[in-house]
Structures are given as structure tokens and as C-alpha cells.
């Protein structure tokens, strides 16, 4: 009996075997040529929410294969939304530019304003929640530091952090509202990716109470360069992608990886495709080995933690979110689609 136990407990742990995805089936769920959709959110009940330009937002029920869409106006102004988030009970959407307006679902089912910022430089880029009470949104600098607003009461009220609590912004440093993926969260840890003339990582170990900054080797130096998207698989392993959307074929210094929680970053797949991409996500439950990146030049897949990539579709998307390890939803110019990844 002891020998049998030893054979089981002392045996070699089976190594994780990454898949070799070679194809993606794409099913269009929503088409509207007037919309530019850069913000998707999978809700707890399995439904899919989005917000876009022209004040548009909506909810998809996959069980009924049906949409409910609406338009939110502020004094006849149709806002442009590029950041969404949710708790167990509420959905939130945040507009770019001034006035920057943050809405949440109210008890009546309508959207109510819970934060508004009127500043000529206001431009919010991404939003996430740590838990059902605490959330964060980030935007371009207005007073010498990246704009960060935080809620501690389920999104009822939001407060902007003073710059004395944050690292000072470098001249020309901002962020990109390309895919609602400038923020990565694992537990209490938070990583915020900046871009532009400087592209760095702002890191908080305690849900936004304290902050420090880490340098990155990603391409930077002009307003259109830097990190466009960041994701973390766990507290140590993270990946970021970007480049320069005005030179989408350029593939030098546009993909970086960390294995120590963002303290240091290394360039990977140097001078190899993909070039510019606006969103990267780890595929869930794949040991941090498999990633997918999307952009207006297509979809790419890696099964070795981003060291190498395979182009699997020319279909254009801005952002992507995974439902499980084989199904994802993606959005782009005039559409939202369901993606099924195949070996």
C-alpha cells in the first residue's frame, strides 16, 4: 500500500500541454455601421454588455440570442463611451472627452450619473472593479498626473486621486482608449498602462491606496506609441501589447512580458508579427501560456506566453473578452461577434 501511495504522490506531475489553435470561427451578433465599439463586458449571468459612440449601449442575451439596445444623451449630446465595467448588481459606462460622464444602472433600470468631470483635458480610457464595492477608472493627465477616480461604495460616488498620491506624469504621457484594457487587476493588485511619449506601468498593491511606477522597454517617444493593452494571468505573469497605430506593420518593441509582477519587462517576438494590436488577453485556464491579440489588422494567437505568434484571421476587431477557453466575444467598427477558437 505504501508503495502504491508513493507511486501516486511521488510521481511526476503531468506537464501542461498548450494547444495549437489554427482557426477561429466568427459569428456576427450585431451590425451597425454607425457604431465604433471598443468596450465590452461579460456580466455575471453570462450576458454581454457594450457601450459605444453615438451614446449607444446594449445587452445581449445568449440564451435567447436577443439584443436590447438604447441611446444615452446628455442635454442632447450623444456621448462617446469607451469604458465599461460591472458589479454583481450594476453596469457602468464612462465617456471620453469633456464632459466625462460616468453612468450606473439605477433602481429603475435607467442610467444615472454618478460622476462628471468638466475639464478641457478630461479623457477617460478604461474602468474595472476589484470587487462589488471598489472600482477604478483611469484617464489622461489633467493636473500633472494620470487621472484616477475610485469608488469604495459600489459605484454610488467616485473621487479623483490627488496628484500627491500618484507618480508625476512625464510630458506627453497619457493613455489610449482603444479597448478598455489599460487596467489589469489580480486580487488587490492593480496595473495601469500608460502610453504616448512615455509608456510606463503604474502599480498599486492595495487597491489604489499607494502607487509606484515601473519603466518599460516598449516603443515610445511620440503621441501614438506605447502600450495600448495590458493583461495579467496571475500576480506575477503579465503581458502588454501596442506599438503605433499609424504604422501598424511595425513589429519592433511592441510586445513585452513580465514574470515578476511588472517590476521589470522584457521584449518578446522582436521584429516578428503581430505589429500594432489594440487588445491582448490571456485565454483563461491555460496556465498563462495562451494569449490572443486583436486589432484592425486581425487576430493573432500565442501558445508560449507570447514568445511567438500565429496569425489566425484578418478579421478586424478593437477589443476581445473570453467567456471560457474556447469562446470569446469581440467588437470593432460596426460589429460585435462571437469567436470560437479551433485546433
Place of cell 505568434: 309
Q: Which pLDDT score is estimated for 108?
A: 72
Q: Which pLDDT score is estimated for 8?
A: 45
Q: Which pLDDT score is estimated for 107?
A: 74
Mean pLDDT, consecutive 10-residue stretches, the chain (343 aa), reads 46 74 97 98 95 97 96 94 97 97 87 97 98 98 97 98 97 98 98 98 98 98 98 98 98 98 98 98 98 98 98 98 98 98 97
Report the C-alpha gap between 240 and 253 in whole angstroms: 11
Place of cell 465599461: 84
Specify the CATH class of 17-342 in words.
mainly beta
99 upstream amide cis, omega within 30 of 0: yes
Q: Which pLDDT score is estimated for 5?
A: 44
Report the C-alpha gap between 291 and 335 in whole angstroms: 22
Read off the pTM: 0.94
Report the C-alpha gap between 218 and 208 in whole angstroms: 24
Q: Which pLDDT score is estimated for 16?
A: 84
Q: Which pLDDT score is estimated for 86?
A: 97
Q: Which pLDDT score is estimated for 106?
A: 80
Amino acid at each position: 500500500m505504501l508503495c502504491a501511495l508513493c507511486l501516486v504522490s511521488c510521481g511526476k506531475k503531468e506537464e501542461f500541454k498548450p494547444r495549437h489553435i489554427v482557426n477561429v470561427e466568427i459569428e456576427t451578433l450585431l451590425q451597425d455601421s454607425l457604431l465604433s465599439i471598443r468596450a465590452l463586458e461579460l456580466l455575471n449571468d453570462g450576458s454581454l454588455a457594450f457601450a459605444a459612440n453615438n451614446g449607444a449601449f446594449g445587452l445581449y442575451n445568449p440564451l435567447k440570442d436577443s439584443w436590447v439596445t438604447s441611446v444615452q444623451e446628455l442635454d442632447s449630446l450623444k456621448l462617446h463611451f469607451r469604458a465599461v465595467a460591472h458589479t454583481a448588481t450594476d453596469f457602468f459606462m464612462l465617456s471620453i472627452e469633456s464632459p466625462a460622464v460616468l453612468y450606473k444602472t439605477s433602481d429603475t433600470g435607467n442610467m444615472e450619473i454618478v460622476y462628471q468631470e468638466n475639464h478641457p483635458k478630461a479623457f477617460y480610457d478604461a474602468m474595472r472593479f476589484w470587487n462589488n464595492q471598489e472600482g477604478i477608472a483611469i484617464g489622461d493627465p489633467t493636473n500633472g498626473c494620470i487621472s484616477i477616480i475610485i469608488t469604495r461604495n459600489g459605484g454610488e460616488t467616485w473621487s479623483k486621486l490627488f496628484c500627491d498620491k500618484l507618480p508625476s506624469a512625464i510630458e506627453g504621457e497619457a493613455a489610449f482608449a482603444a479597448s478598455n484594457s489599460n487596467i489589469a487587476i489580480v486580487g488587490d493588485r492593480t496595473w495601469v498602462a500608460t502610453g504616448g511619449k512615455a509608456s510606463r506601468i503604474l502599480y498599486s498593491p492595495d487597491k489604489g491606496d499607494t502607487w509606484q511606477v515601473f519603466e518599460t522597454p516598449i516603443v515610445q517617444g511620440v503621441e501614438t506609441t506605447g502600450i495600448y493593452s495590458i493583461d495579467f494571468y496571475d500576480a506575477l505573469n503579465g503581458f502588454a501589447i501596442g506599438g503605433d497605430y499609424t504604422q501598424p506593420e511595425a513589429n519592433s518593441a511592441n510586445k513585452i512580458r513580465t514574470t515578476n509582477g511588472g517590476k521589470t519587462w522584457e521584449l518578446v517576438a522582436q521584429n516578428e508579427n503581430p505589429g500594432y494590436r489594440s487588445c491582448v488577453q490571456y485565454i483563461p485556464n491555460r496556465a498563462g501560456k495562451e494569449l490572443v491579440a486583436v486589432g484592425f489588422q486581425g487576430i493573432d494567437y500565442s501558445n508560449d506566453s507570447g514568445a511567438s505568434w500565429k496569425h489566425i484571421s484578418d478579421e478586424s476587431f478593437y477589443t476581445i473578452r473570453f467567456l471560457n477557453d474556447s469562446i470569446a466575444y469581440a467588437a470593432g467598427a460596426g460589429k460585435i461577434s462571437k469567436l470560437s477558437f479551433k485546433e
